[in-house]
Amino acid sequence: MENFKAIPILSAPESSPERLQKIRNLFVGFPDTDIRFEWKEKQFVIFLHALDFQRFSARLMSFAENGEPDQELRDFSRQILEAVDSIRSYGLKGEKRLYAGYNDERKVKGRAKKVADREPYFYATGHNFSKSNHLCPPEYKNKIICGDSEQVLKQLPDNCVDLIFTSPAYNFGLEYSANDDAFHWDSYFEKLFRIFSECVRVLKYGGRIAVNVQPLFSDYVPIHHLISQFFMEKKLIWKGEILWEKNNYNCKYTAWGSWKSPSNPYLKYTWEFIEIFCKGNLKKERGDGVADISADEFKKWVVAKWSIGPERKMKDFDHPAMFPEELAVRVLKLFSFEGDLVLDPFNGAGTTTAIAKKLNRGFLGIDNSEKYCETARKRMEGFLL
């Protein structure tokens, strides 16, 4: 059948009108245009186009476990479910897995040779990163530390952190004068890049750093570009850029005096960026860690536009600029394994470290505010959720 993927089940039981009706009932509510089957004697074939797999799985598991007297049919329903679940090649559309027609785009002829012929990430060649990774000292593992990140990180050995996920604050207690913007921003970036230099040093070979940032529109500072340029100059490999769509439309439309005019229109941004870089190698060695990301999560999250609402509980944590927990969940599950060590050098109220602990990762959070460090510690202890 066109636009259907055929899955034969070789060990089907003997068919009968009663058995056929029971199996047919399992498919009720799933359109024939999405899934259908044929059963002739011992030949059972499923034809798949699309499927709400979670709902289908719940239906078949309920049938297999809730008292169906026919043992062969119970076993057969499990076989059907296992056969469908074993398919790893599919796309996603809403709640459905797409098994046919989702990858019909035009293929690039000779793509493998073209990729091999050109030098990948030329800007990162010639680095001198060591491939020898080290353990983080126990006094820094699973800790929230109040202090200057630049100085704290200097105490760590090279290559001891698996993943860095952070959103840098737009000040570090620096003196700020509205009449001296140039001095402020020079000082800001000098300090920021000294901290990031330490982050590059402590990051393991094959480790990742993911930085959540938005351009500073009011000051016309494309900070996401400046940060990316810094990491490229440090010979890190640009893994990609995720667009975090916040669906936040509560921002002004125009600069003063530019309404309905090309004079000075104010561009509305409802999103932020996550810039991801790798040290030395795009591939991260797993070690003893376990990948805890599901197939559907993986397929959804590698599409680099994430629609996640902004954090709604900032008042509860008395912090003005927090990213939501879901953002941290996705970054940590997509770019690290269970047991990995996750660092946030601008930990704030502790979202990164709280999610790292929840997802069975080690963590190190650093912030120069004792108030926020205390909040982060309380979150780790379960007092703030």
Domain membership of residue 123 (yes or no) is no
Q: Which residue has the higher pLDDT, 48 or 117?
A: 48
Total structural domains within the chain: 2
Nearest to 161 by CA among 330, 362, 353: 362
Beta strands in the chain (DSSP E): 5-9, 35-40, 43-48, 50-51, 91-93, 96-98, 143-146, 161-166, 203-213, 237-245, 271-278, 305-307, 341-344, 362-367
Handedness of CA 224, 229, 231, 232 (dihedral sign): positive
> Is residue 173 scored above 80 in pLDDT?
no
Do 143 and 47 share a structural domain?
no
63: in domain: yes
> Average pLDDT of the chain?
85
Compare 109 and 107 and report the one with higher pLDDT.
Answer: 109
| 118 — pLDDT class (breaks 50, 70, 90) | low
Are residues 307 and 230 located together in one domain of the fold? Answer: yes
Assigned domain for 160 exists: yes
In a domain, 109, yes or no: no
Is residue 247, in this structure, part of any structural domain at all?
yes
Residues 58 and 142 in one domain: no
Query: Do 341 and 257 sit in the same domain of this protein?
Result: yes
pLDDT for the residue 180 = 54
CATH number, domain containing residue 364:
3.40.50.150
Same domain (yes/no): 365, 297: yes
For residue 353, give its domain range. Answer: 133-380
Last residue of a domain, one of 43, 78, 98: 98
Q: Are 13 and 19 in contact (CB under 8 A)?
A: yes
Cα separation, 203 vs 156, whole angstroms: 10
Secondary structure string (H, E, C) spanning 92-122: EECCEEECCCCCCCCCCCCHHHHHHHCCCCH
The answer to whether position 112 is within a domain reads: no
For 113, 116, 124, 276, 281, the CA distances from 119, given in Å and listed in that order, are: 12, 7, 10, 20, 14
The domain boundary residue, chosen from 76, 98, 120: 98
Closest CA to 309 of 281, 353, 336, 272: 272
128 assigned to some structural domain: no
Q: Which two tokens stand for residue 192?
A: 């920021």
- Same domain for 163 and 290, yes or no, is yes
pLDDT in tens, 279-320: 999 999 887 789 999 989 999 999 999 999 876 676 666 566
Residue range 89-106, pLDDT digits in tens: 888 888 888 888 776 654
Q: Check pLDDT > 50 for residue 28.
A: yes
Alpha-carbon span 212 to 246, nearest angstrom: 13
Same domain, 197 and 309: yes
pLDDT of residue 201: 98
Least confident of 97-101, 162-166, 360-364: 97-101
Considering the domain architecture, whether residues 153 and 67 belong to the same structural domain is answered as no
Task: Please check whether residues 148 and 43 belong to one and the same domain.
Answer: no
Last residue of a domain, one of 71, 98, 125: 98
Q: Say if residue 21 is in the same domain as residue 90.
A: yes
